Amino acid sequence: MSIDTVAVAEVSPEHSQPFAELGLKPDEYQQIRDILQRRPTSSELAMYSVMWSEHCSYKSSKVHLRQFGEKAPKTDALLVGIGENAGVVDIGAGWAVTFKVESHNHPSYVEPYQGAATGIGGIVRDIMSMGARPLAVMDPLRFGPADAPDTGRVLPGIVAGIGGYGNCLGLPNIGGEIVFDASYSGNPLVNALCVGAMKHEDIHLASAKGVGNLVVLYGARTGGDGIGGVSVLASETFADGGPTKRPSVQVGDPFMEKLLIEATLEVLQAGLVEGIQDLGGAGISCATSELASNGEGGMHVWLDRVLLRDETLSPEEILMSESQERMCAIVRPERLAEFMERCAKWDVEAVVIGEVNASGRLTVDWHGDRIVDVPPRTVAHDGPVYERPFHRPTWMDALQADTPDHLERPTTGPELRETLLVMVAAPNLASKSWVTSQYDRYVQGNTVLSQPEDAGMIRIDEATGLGVAIATDCNGRFTKLDPYAGAQLALAEAYRNVAASGATPLAVTNCLNFGSPEDPEVMWQFAEATRGLADGCLQLGTPVTGGNVSFYNQTGATAILPTPVVGVLGVIGDVATRTSMAWTDAGDHIYLLGDTNDEFGGSEWANHVHGHLGGLPPRVDLDRERALGEVLVTGSQSGFLVAAHDVSDGGVAQALVEMSLRAGTGATVTVPTTLDPFVFMFAESAGRAVVVVRPLDTGQLIDLCEQNGVPLAQIGVVLTASNLDFADLFTVSLDDLRREHERTLPELFG
Amino acid sequence: MARVVVDVMLKPEILDPQGRAVEGSLRRLGLTGVNDVRQGKQFVIDLDGVVEGARLELLETLAAELLSNPVIEDYKLQVIEDSV
Amino acid sequence: MARVVVDVMLKPEILDPQGRAVEGSLRRLGLTGVNDVRQGKQFVIDLDGVVEGARLELLETLAAELLSNPVIEDYKLQVIEDSV
Amino acid sequence: MSVRVGVVTFPGSLDDRDAARAVRIAGGEAVALWHGDDDLKQVDAVILPGGFSYGDYLRCGAIARFAPVMHSLIERANTGMPLLGICNGFQILCESHLLPGALTRNDSLHFMCRDQRLRIENTSSAWTSDFISGQEIVIPLKNGEGGYVADDRTLDALEAEGRVVARYLDVNPNGSRRDIAGITNERGNVVGLMPHPEHAVESLTGPTTDGIGFFTSVLKSFVSL
Ligand SMILES: Nc1ncnc2c1ncn2[C@@H]1O[C@H](COP(=O)(O)OP(=O)(O)O)[C@@H](O)[C@H]1O
Ligand SMILES: [Mg+2]
């Protein structure tokens, strides 16, 4: 086996290299040659190719993502901003919170269980790498049609994988989304969110500082996982036959990850770590180059010291392996022994693979031969940047002109009743408990709200009750009809969900799932959605702290619905004041906050009943969202909101059904005289919530709404009886509603 | 009457955390010279009649696609005629 | 070099929901004449040297008490010497 | 002096801090015990918490049974020290033969997390004396392998001797024989329970506070001595 060293590269400039197979464009390859003033070694080529990939370098999205920083609202709450493994937000009392959502879409299609499991594993390590203890996970998911055979293969596996990994880590699952749409056939979306907390002084960054400090790789051994592409290089260096077979799928080991969490928290707590980085995509290449690039000097790595699961791995493969459950720490030499002891206590293997130096270079040796010698910034941060062309799709006009106005609407009481029963059983609106009951929501004993509530809420500080709430949302149909408004509607909905729980929205994370950036029409959707989200965050005063971009989500030439999943994090001083969506006492008054308009573009009714998508999404007014949020949070803190639930998919009718099923008691509902009953029940106008107050407190609610300019109308009264009465129209029993609402997923997925 | 036994094992290149855990406990409990432990599944299927032709073919397909996950596992199918 | 294969199967009187689920799918996918399906585990242990005497005894104990749970499972141990 | 209740942490234990919190809320002193250490630190009672000890890779609880701490625990349990195994802890107790039977894969083949109604059937064990016989409670249940199995003779004996501590009501979530959710040994000091009382000790985070009774039971048994 011959090794391609720097010395060899210097004297063999003509040697032809398989850069195209590794996904590099000719000009990118030339750029590498210019940086190095020679041809790259095969190991260097491996590093650059993976670090300059779309996934790691954000080369197509960078120019758009900049807006999140440029338009960021001024706030002291942001302790660590975009660019680190995850953003960190100050929530008071010396506590900081870090949260982030990431995609694992493609691997989850290939192997649903392991793909989804390793998606959870990856995001958890991101949170750990900030110095935080991971506290909870969430899982926004998208699938093809609920009754499609492939959905029957993919969904149960993905759900089992998320549960299998998250449950075993001891992280409660406090929420997520499940949405079905034909555009996700062959391209399901698995986004995973993790939230963690730490004291301010425990915040750690991924930087290799301090000449002489050691680079320690710990956790699972390195195997040949996820290195399909680079085997091209490995086969070059083998005399004949190529390397032994490499796995195309990464398999997660949640038990190892659990040990990794405990060991990491111990070494952080003991002050043994100067810098820390998780190993995810691009493995050691990414970890070492980012650590070195963020540090002030250079780094040297003895690659042959890496503990291997498979001894046949070539250095290129080791550099690029995406084996799971590994972390990298920068440790002062005098603390190394203690670091190793703590790892051993948790049965976690650790080995020194490198040292921080002042060379300004990242150098890697393999059994004494120099195989990498590069300026680390050029690998990690100064990759190519594309200004991809984009233009508004020609079909947008026709799509927006095809409004839902012509669709046949139910009008009579019996028709409306029938529509309601059909809607509550629609896969997108049906109960998701077949899924969520496979997730542990209790572990750690700090879960205050979880499914089916609007937001997940966890207690962070037992002494004071300080906690956070998180919701994720995105209606891809809205985004398709208008990407700018659609992204803002996603933001508005998540914001509203958090406010409805009683927490003050503070910060945003996002996972931008789109088709191919090489398609100018997709790129336009991306540009518009990004602009909408950045503008929206500025207007709401909630900065984006981090996120993730997933491109190339398409089957053939057809892209998925543009799906910018937005996660909003809110803080609540005392979780005991949170608002649930369940009403309690008969006689309490039910109010609808916000204005209802005849808005059905992209609605679930148009989608489920008529298979129609066209027109414009509901109008978004973020000032009104903010005012609504103010009412929800203040009302919750003042203690007079008995229950609150945001209105979104399925409209007011769906919200009322969810509230009554949660409570187990019904209500009598009166349609405001100004509204058509159908519009009242099913329109999806933004900026609305249903709230419940005791009769004595209605004055307080009315005053609060007046102060904030939020319109309100009483729409009902809570009953002891178990039916939902739409006065003068129809009545329906909770038993019927529950049966329809709960049967869909079990019937489909058993 | 026939018995079909299908052994399903993770492909050698795929990480086997279960096997590793078992390996660890075997060592802790005093077994020496252990090089590798892998944990797989075994399906024992009892059938009427003989297993040949199209039926055997179907069984092979089912073993390859239902009983094992071709992305990460290999299988081995054995027919024992006249079992029981 | 030796290989020890331990098959672990639920005792016949213990309900095997996995086996039953597999049986159902085999039927749905067109396999006829299925009488019974049971799902068990298989451990493949590669060892240095030969497996005999005290080492074999230890392996039997481990198979009986670690690899299987005697309350609900039966095991079968096979030694394949010189397996590679 | 407060009663010292040990909570063992195995690699992969998840509900250890939750069990400790429940002990504190009930008024006891929680003492952390480590799987690799056979020192029981003079505790009066011990809880084996839920989780996935050793990843539950071989069989739930199978590997944990051989941990050093288990040697001392088995010894003390045999001389009457109260020992409660919750979920994974129950599995470890069965694997260690401190309790009869075994726990197998849920008959639904899915992990199941739900608020479960139970009936307390034995109020003379060290961990259930603070309940009223026949009392119905709701506490979380969350497991993938919670189906209790044993041969009919054992099941008959458990029932005849009143050693079924709690039974599932409404639905049997995992296929347990005879709806058994928890059992005790002859002496009544060792209890295994599949659902999680430690997650029902605060109204803020649990479906109820019904779980607290398991912890107050053991604390009171010492006070009354
Ligand atoms: N994949 C999932 N994982 C966890 N929780 C989920 C998932 N999908 C839905 N949920 C939860 O189910 C509840 C209802 O979901 P959904 O109807 O989408 O809520 P919303 O209308 O607030 O967006 C929410 O609490 C949500 O967090
Ligand atoms: Mg909601």
Which pLDDT band, with edges at 50, 70 and 90, does A229 fall under? low
Residue A238 has pLDDT above 50, yes or no: no
User: Chain A partners of B16 at a C-beta cutoff of 8 Å?
Assistant: 251
- What is the spatial distance between Cα A359 and Cα A365, in angstroms, rounded to a whole number? 15
| Predicted local distance difference test score (pLDDT) of residue A85 | 80
What span, in angstroms and rounded, lies between the C-alpha atoms of D66 and D88? 14
Residue A2: partners with Cβ closer than 8 Å, 6 or more residues away: A237, A239
Give yes or no for B3 touching C (CB within 8 A).
Answer: no
pLDDT(A231) > 70: no
Neighbouring C-beta atoms of residue D206, cutoff 10 Å? 24
User: Largest alpha-carbon pair distance within chain C?
Assistant: 48
Determine the pLDDT at residue A604.
98
Closest chain A residue to the Cα of B66, Cα to Cα: A153
H/E stretch holding A494 reads helix A483-500
- Identify whether the C-beta of residue A193 lies closer than 8 Å to the C-beta of residue A123: yes
- For residues D45 and D26, is the Cβ–Cβ distance under 8 A? no
Residues A496 and A479: their CA atoms lie apart, in Å, by 18
For A168, which of D52, D199, D206 is closest by C-beta distance? Answer: D52
Q: Does D1 have pLDDT greater than 80?
A: no
State which amino acid sits at residue D93. L
Structure tokens at A129: 């790498």
Stated pTM of the model: 0.94
Establish whether the linkage from the previous residue to A452 is cis, with ω within 30° of 0: yes
pLDDT exceeds cutoff 50 at A243:
no
Residue A236 has pLDDT above 80, yes or no: no
pLDDT in tens, D177-209: 999 999 999 999 999 999 999 999 999 999 999
pLDDT at A335: 97
- Per residue in D52-91, pLDDT (tens digit) is 999 888 889 999 999 999 999 999 999 999 999 999 999 9
Instruction: Using pLDDT thresholds of 50, 70 and 90, give the confidence band for residue C69.
Output: very high
| Among candidate residues A704, A731, A705, A735, the one with its CA nearest the CA of residue A716 | A731
Residue A331 CB partners (closer than 8 Å, separation 6+): A213, A214, A216, A272, A273, A274, A339
Report whether D128 contacts D167 (CB < 8 A): no
pLDDT at A131: 92
Q: Looking at the predicted structure, is the pLDDT value of residue A26 above 70?
A: yes
At A232 the pLDDT is: 59
Amino acid at A58: Y
- Considering chain A, what is the average pLDDT of its residues? 94
Reported ipTM: the value is 0.91
Contact yes or no for C44/B9 (Cβ under 8 A):
yes
Beta strands in A520-620 (DSSP E): 544-550, 554-555, 558-559, 563-572, 589-593
Q: How many CB pairs under 8 A join B and D?
A: 22
pLDDT at A242 over 50: no
A241, pLDDT greater than 50: no
Q: What local confidence, expressed as pLDDT, does residue B82 receive?
A: 66
The DSSP call for residue A19 is T
A469 neighbors A455 (Cβ within 8 angstroms): yes
Structural domain for D18, as ranges: 4-223
Residue of B nearest to A311 (CA): B13
Ligand approaching nearest to the C-alpha of A430: 1
Whole-angstrom distance, CA of residue A688 vs CA of residue A710: 9
Residue pLDDT, tens place only, A274-303: 999 999 888 999 999 999 988 878 999 999
Confidence of residue B33 (pLDDT cuts 50, 70, 90): very high
Tell me: pLDDT of A257 over 50: yes
**CA–CA separation, A574 and A448 (whole Å):** 11
| Look-up of token digits 């440790």 | A331
Highest mean pLDDT among A44-48, A135-139, D55-59: A135-139
Answer yes or no: are the C-beta atoms of C45 and B10 closer than 8 Å: no
Cβ–Cβ < 8 Å for A322, A249? no
- N-term to C-term CA, chain C: 6
| Lowest pLDDT segment from A157-171, A187-201, A527-541, D49-63 | D49-63
Q: Do C71 and D105 touch (CB under 8 A)?
A: no
Please give the angle made by the CA atoms of D8, D14 and D19, to the nearest 5 degrees.
55
**CA nearest to D98, candidates D8, D33, D190:** D190
Is residue B12 predicted with pLDDT exceeding 90? no
pLDDT digit string, tens, across residues A727-749 = 999 999 999 999 999 999 999 99
- Give the distance from residue C20's alpha carbon to the nearest chain D alpha carbon, in angstroms: 10
Distance of residue B59 Cα from the nearest chain C Cα, in angstroms: 8
Tokens of A583: 């009403």
pLDDT band, residue A556 (cuts 50/70/90): confident
CATH code of the domain in which D80 resides: 3.40.50.880
The pLDDT confidence band at residue D215, using thresholds 50, 70 and 90, is very high
Residue type, D211: G
Fold classification of C2-81 (topology level): Mth169; Chain: A , (3.30.1280)
Beta bridge partners, B75, equal B8
Q: Which two tokens stand for residue A442?
A: 């209790």
Domain total of chain D: 1
Run of H or E residues at A702: helix A698-708
The domain limits of chain B are 2-81
CA–CA gap between residue D27 and residue D130 (Å, rounded): 14
Q: For chain B, which chains pass the contact test of at least 3 CB pairs under 8 Å?
A: A, C, D
Asked if A328 and A288 touch (Cβ cutoff 8 Å), the reply is yes
Cα(A573)–Cα(A552) distance, rounded to whole angstroms? 41
Query: Which whole number is the average pLDDT over D124-145?
Result: 97
Q: Is D196 a catalytic residue?
A: yes
pLDDT at A2: 77
Shortest distance, CA B72 to any CA of chain A (angstroms)? 7
Confidence of residue A403 (pLDDT cuts 50, 70, 90): very high
DSSP A750: -
What is chain D's percent helix, strand, coil content, to nearest 5?
30, 25, 45
D87 as an active site residue: the answer is: yes
pLDDT digits (tens, 9 = 90+) for A339-390: 999 999 999 999 999 999 999 999 999 999 999 999 999 999 888 999 999 9
The C-alpha angle with vertex A570 and arms to A566 and A576, in degrees rounded to 5, equals 140
Report the candidate in A622, A582, A574, A564 with the shortest Cα–Cα distance to residue A469: A574
Q: Does B29 touch chain D (CB under 8 A)?
A: yes
Per residue in A421-455, pLDDT (tens digit) is 999 999 999 999 999 999 999 999 999 999 999 99
Q: What is the mean pLDDT of chain B?
A: 91
Q: Of C46, C38, C37, C23, nearest to C73 (Cα)?
A: C38
Query: Other CB atoms closer than 10 Å to residue D134's CB: what's the count?
Result: 9
Phi, psi of A714 (to 5 degrees): -75, 130
pLDDT computed for residue A547 by the predictor: 94
Contact A53, A24 (CB under 8 A): no
Tell me what the pLDDT averaged over chain D comes to.
96
